[in-house]
Structure 1
Amino acid sequence: MLKGTKQTPQEVLMVMEPGFGLATIEKIAINAVMAGCRPEQFPVLLAAIDCLGKPEMNHRDMQVSGHTEAPIILVNGPIAEKAGINFGTTAMGPGVINSANTAIGRALRLCLINIGYCNAGAGDPNFVGLPTKFGMCIAENEAASPWQPYHMDLGYKKDESAVTVVTVTGPTTIIDPRSKNHEDTLNNISSMMFYPNAGSGNWLKGWESAQIGHTNRRIQYQGPYHPIILSPSRAVIMAEAGMSKRDAQKWLHENCRASLRSILSKGDIPTDSDGNWIHHPELQHLADNPDATIPALESPEQYLLFVTGGSTHYANFFYGTYGIATSPVEDV
């Protein structure tokens, strides 16, 4: 397994919560072997753990939360094919064709358990659990997508490989067989945002700061990123209407709205001693309008459009929670 990296066995990638375990290359390799990974898949796992170690990932809260959430791995670039990751039919499913997807996702979970000491009932207080916590690794079907791949949106080159880890709940399947145009498809996707736990409009309250590990340093939450896993045909129907990925994100941002009244009814809008909103005071005048709405998410980029799978009329919607981070994949 160690042939899958140029890094030394004792190098520490991160301190893994909640048990403060040192995630060395050697320990990660041991868990990769137990999960059934092959050496050519090891760089993907290492990049995923590098993501978890970044402050913006807020992995401590992910690990110790009672909320049902888990990290998923999104893979871009040539490493997907080199590692044998399935990005075609049943890309999110089981079976021999998905052995790499399954092994990489499972290896990450084993690291969180065995290195981070996040065991069910001891370190992991998750009340109900989530099937996604077994592990999930998805690669983008870049050849079938009409848009540039996700890692290029972040500034990577097409021939570079990158891994994104995002904490989510779900997924929820979007069945879209009757859509005749791009607006039908986008309306079906946007309907997911009205589920009560989607965090719609919570950005108005300002994102609380998260503690970084066992230190006194803190970092602001970025707000949730909602991965929308599109089949190629759903992306094509938008592209044929002249929509870029950015256009689709802007459409969702403009049309996925949250009722300001419902947000205010929950309270918790931080105010100063004079009653002025601390966050987004420029919007406080809307509080007097009972019909006012605001975007469900703060920015268009928080709708993470990722094309994978076979050609079908389905899509999957994940509700994002704590954090998101991207790391390059080591070229071995």
Structure 2
Amino acid sequence: MNKKILWVCAVLFLALGSWFLWSHVVMASEKNSDKVVEAPRPRPVGLETVGVGAIRSDRRYPGVVEADQEAFLAFRVAGPLTKVDVQLGDLVKKGQRLAQIDPRDFRDEIEVLKAQLEGARATLENAQTDYGRSKSLLKEKVIAQAEYDGAKKAVTTARSSVRNLSAQLDIAGHRLQDTELKAPFDGIVSERKVENHEMVSAGQVVMGLLDISTLKVTANVPEGALVRGSLSEGTKAELSFPSIPDLKLTGTLEEWSSSPDPATRTYSVSFSFPAPEGVRVLPGMTAEVLWNGEEGSSEVVTVPLGAVVSRGDGGSSVWVYDPDEKVVRSRSVSLGKVGGDDRLPVIDGLRPGERIVVAGVDFVTEGMSVSPLER
């Protein structure tokens, strides 16, 4: 009887537990079904209506002033410095001494070689005397042929020793001259990498020298400019300098690259000009090159710089707003030459009246729903 009672209680307990669990799940599902899933809000973006605007049409390209001739100077011999005669910015003349290595060891070497050369010459003189005597004795058949040949060989050996020591003496003289570092041309000291009493090694760059009597401006230009421009000898360009607004110079085409820079796909061109009097134009200054064109402006479709997206394939695109679906879509565009303003000309890909994203460009994706904010 007790077992039956226990079995009945267990069954009732399981039934009540199952009913409670089922009712809790049903109530939770009904509660969740009453919730409304909210759609994501459109992202606000700034739009601008594409129009026709003025942009500079002159062919001005930024450039950098460079010295027409530059040299990094080093000693051909090693040793401790005893004199450094110039400072940074000093103007020097061709052949002027710039620095000096201690010459004592090189002078001693010359004295040793001179003494050896005197001994070699004395040996040669004796050998020539013996050879002349041997030649007479051989005719009289007083000495053997072998003794004559030995005297002749001694002369040849002594003469070779004299030539060898003479050459070594010349080299030692050159090494002594190389203890002085001299300017290879008129210029200005652009670098000084050593101080007096330092030990320098052969080939170590100790100074830099720039020839600023003639300068050049090097600029990077797109391929279109290189195709349109004249590359003949004597081609002129107007050079201006932002740091010297009143200075306008005429440069002559000196050189240009025949292959583009792999990163920018532009070509390098250089225009040389004599250093102007009364104005200090130095290497490293920024400049502008006006080449193959006239200053002015033209009416074209333009977009702000911030609206253009650079693609991985090297092209450019903009985000165009679709007013019917209220979404943005990417569109490829062809850009013209950069002007002097903060806008870019669009050759192909956009029409006046279309609206493009100009603010929030980095936060939109293809087909994204947006909330337009007119600019």
Provide the TM-score with structure 2 as the length reference: 0.22
Larger Rg: 2
Higher helix proportion, which one? 1
Higher strand proportion, which one? 2
